[in-house]
Structure 1
Amino acid sequence: MTRDSLENLRRQLAEFALERDWDQFHSPKNLSMALIAEAAELVEHFQWLTQAQSKTLPAEKLEAVSLELADILLYTIRAADMLGVDLIKAAERKIAINHQRYPAHRVRGDARRASEYED
């Protein structure tokens, strides 16, 4: 198992929660609420920035953004664990679905929703 695997992170999070008796709070509902709160905190860092500014964050802001992204990842992993979802398999399925919904020849350079493309 590599140091940076999702499985390793899942185990660390499960142990962290177990040591603190937090499983009782880690329902899928609560974890999804925490996840959206962290996503909102991430958005705050980009509010009012231009597209260019959002791509070249100062070091201090990039560090804060990194920690928000980590929170999002960790809550996602924990929620998946509580639901028995294999995130790698789910992500691979979703990528395959997106290939079908957004064929490159049809959507290149166009960022509409799949339902907005004519058949």
Structure 2
Amino acid sequence: MPERITLQEIKERISRFISKRNWEQYHSPKNISMSIAIEAAELMEHFQWLSPEESRDLLGNAAGRAEIEDELADIAIYVLDFCNLFSIDIEKIIARKLGKTAKKYPVRLVKGKAHKYTYYQKLKRKSKA
């Protein structure tokens, strides 16, 4: 089983990996954001044209799961690299975003539903009218 490391240790490893290769010069916001999107597209490619059931089955297959885990790792590495390079506290911004999202999607309105938040905004306006 792989060793367990903290988020800070992962960020430090990523930084060292890039630094040892002198790749900082290529890691602009544009390039890293594009790399995140490219890796996300590679993740989506595994599921393209599969039914919901087939996509779940893919994760039950050891080889398929390993490929998907690699794509997720690539995405996470680029996200953490972006955060490292531009002094973004990932833990802080995730907590902040979860707070904003909780306000957009209050449990009492959304539980078991999958509408966009604008649907719930319309419901709130109608109930006030």
Q: Structure 1 stretches (4+) deviating beyond 3 angstroms?
A: none
Q: 1:105 maps to which residue?
A: 108
1:26 aligns with 2:39: no
What one-letter code is carried by the residue in structure 2 that aligns with 1:65? I
Q: What TM-score does the superposition give when structure 2 sets the normalisation length? A: 0.86
CA drift of 1:3 comes to 4.2
Q: What TM-score does the superposition give when structure 1 sets the normalisation length? A: 0.93
Higher relative contact order (CA 8 A, sep 6+): 1
1:96 aligns with 2:92: no
Gaps in structure 2 of 5+ consecutive residues: 125-129
**Matched-pair contact (CA < 8 Å) for 1:6–1:77:** no
User: Hey, what's the Cα distance between the residues in 1 that align with 2:87 and 2:41?
Assistant: 26
Q: How large is the RMSD of aligned CA atoms in angstroms? A: 1.3
Matched residues, number:
118
Q: 2:18 maps to which residue?
A: 17
Q: 1:76 maps to which residue?
A: 79
Q: 1:47 maps to which residue?
A: 48
CA drift of 1:48 comes to 1.2
User: Hey, what's the Cα distance between the residues in 1 that align with 2:91 and 2:5?
Assistant: 13
CA drift of 1:56 comes to 2.1
- Kindly, what percent of the aligned residue pairs are identical? 36
CA drift of 1:116 comes to 2.1
What one-letter code is carried by the residue in structure 1 that aligns with 2:77? L
Greater Rg by CA: 2
